[in-house]
Amino acid sequence: MIILEVKNLSVGYNSHLAVKNISFSLEEGKTLALLGPNGAGKSTIFKAILGLLPYQGDIIWHKKPQIGFVPQRFDFDKSIPVTVKEFMLLHANSNLQFWFPPKKIISDIKKKLTLVGAAGLLDRKIGELSSGQFQRILIARALFGRPNILLFDEPTADIDIEGEMTIYPLLRKLSKELGFTLIIISHDLNIVYDFADKVVCVNKKMMCFGAPKKILTPKQLNELYGEGVGFYVHHEHKH
């Protein structure tokens, strides 16, 4: 079942088009990756999907979206003595449509931290967390509201190698367990090959759309990133 269709999407800033005529579709429960060089317009497409920017074209939801979002960077002063529990409570309280007893909210927070493998971090201060641990907290935070579609802007940007090795398997596990659809922005070609069902290649305009193993040829990557871009044979991993 198609959950999202984007048709001839164009977004402009101050009469300048950031992206032009972008079209793709996404099936429920699948993973779509947006791929392209820096400044190609990938985050602009995210913002349009989130309703944060005016656009031309069509963004059609075939099922009412409940969207969770994990940003590429989360500006937070880690010197502020806020615990993970307090950080999560601030977000939970701002997203609740009805009043819930505090014990119920704390119980829900614990469940979400357990889902992302961060149950032991509840009382830790945010400033004490590694970048990988903080990314897990942001993922748990995005699960409030029971989203059926999650948007991840560079899930492994600025995190340590250990965190990068575990984030994508975690996303795959959560997607299967909770039944949500994923849209990710990633510069890691191996991750895109291994993780995405479909890929949209963007460089201010539509470059390609399809299954990564079919369309991400050396020729296509050179057209997308420019001549001289290295191409590495991908070795599939068993899941």
Least confident of 1-5, 144-148, 196-200: 144-148
Residue 109 lies in a domain: yes
Would you state the pLDDT for residue 188?
79
d(CA 1, CA 61): 11
- Whether residues 237 and 178 fall in one domain: yes
Higher-pLDDT residue of 10, 159: 10
- Whether residues 62 and 160 fall in one domain: yes
Residue 27 lies in a domain: yes
Residue 49 lies in a domain: yes
The whole domain housing 28 covers 1-66+146-239
Residue 51 lies in a domain: yes
Residue 72 lies in a domain: no
pLDDT tens readout for residues 25-67:
999 999 999 999 988 999 999 999 999 999 999 999 999 999 9
- Whether residues 157 and 211 fall in one domain: yes
d(CA 70, CA 74): 9
Task: Supply the CATH number for residue 216's domain.
Answer: 3.40.50.300
pLDDT tens readout for residues 150-175:
999 876 666 655 566 678 889 889 99
- Whether residues 126 and 169 fall in one domain: no
- Whether residues 91 and 209 fall in one domain: no
Residue 71 lies in a domain: no
Q: Quickly list DSSP for 53-110.
A: S--EEEEEESS---EEEE-S-----TTS--BHHHHHHHHHHHH-SS---HHHHHHHHH
Would you state the pLDDT for residue 98?
46
Higher-pLDDT residue of 235, 90: 90
Average pLDDT over residues 176-180: 91
The distance between the two most distant Cα atoms of the chain, rounded to a whole number of Å, is 59
Would you state the pLDDT for residue 234?
43
- Whether residues 22 and 140 fall in one domain: no
Domain count, the chain: 2
pLDDT tens readout for residues 72-131:
777 777 778 899 999 998 877 665 544 455 778 889 999 999 999 999 999 999 989 888
- Whether residues 140 and 152 fall in one domain: no
Would you state the pLDDT for residue 145?
79
